[in-house]
Amino acid sequence: MNVHSFLVKANDLDTDNVRPTAPVAERRVPENGLSPVRSARVQQHLRSSPVTDRAHILLWTDQPAAYLDAVKAAGLADRVAIDTLSRQDRPSAAQLARTEALMAGGVPAGLLPSMPKLRWAQAMSAGVEGWMALPDLPPALTLTCARGTHAESMPENIMAALFYAAKPVRIAVENQKSARWVHTVPQPLTGKTLGILGLGVIGQEVARLASAFGMRVIGTKRRPGAVPNVAEILPPERTDEVLEQSDYVLLLLPATPETDNFINAARLAKMKPTAWLINFGRGHTIVDADLIVAAKDKKIAGAILDVFRQEPLPSEHPFWKAEGIVVLPHIGGPHPQRDRFVARLFVENLERFLNGAPLKEVVDRAAGY
d(CA 51, CA 120): 13
Is 311 among the residues known to form the active site?
yes
Tell which phi-psi region holds residue 144, choosing left (phi > 0), alpha (psi between -120 and 50) or beta: beta
Distances (CA, A) of 117 to 24, 42, 102, 225, 257: 33, 14, 11, 40, 31
Rounded to the nearest 10°, the torsion over CA 15, 21, 25, 31 is -50
d(CA 355, CA 20): 32
Q: Quick check: 86 and 62 in contact, CB under 8 A?
A: yes
* 250: helix, strand or coil: strand
| Catalytic residue, candidates 27, 330, 335, 344 | 330
Could you say which DSSP state residue 10 is in?
A: T
| Catalytic residue, candidates 282, 284, 338, 365 | 282
Q: Quick check: 136 and 114 in contact, CB under 8 A?
A: no
d(CA 132, CA 16): 17
State the amino acid at position 73 in one-letter form: A
Burial code (b: 16+ CB inside 10 Å, e: under 16) for 172-189 equals: eeeeeeeeeeeeeeeeeb
State the amino acid at position 266 in one-letter form: A
| Catalytic residue, candidates 156, 174, 244, 311 | 311
Is 4 among the residues known to form the active site?
no
Question: Catalytic residue numbers?
Answer: 282, 311, 330
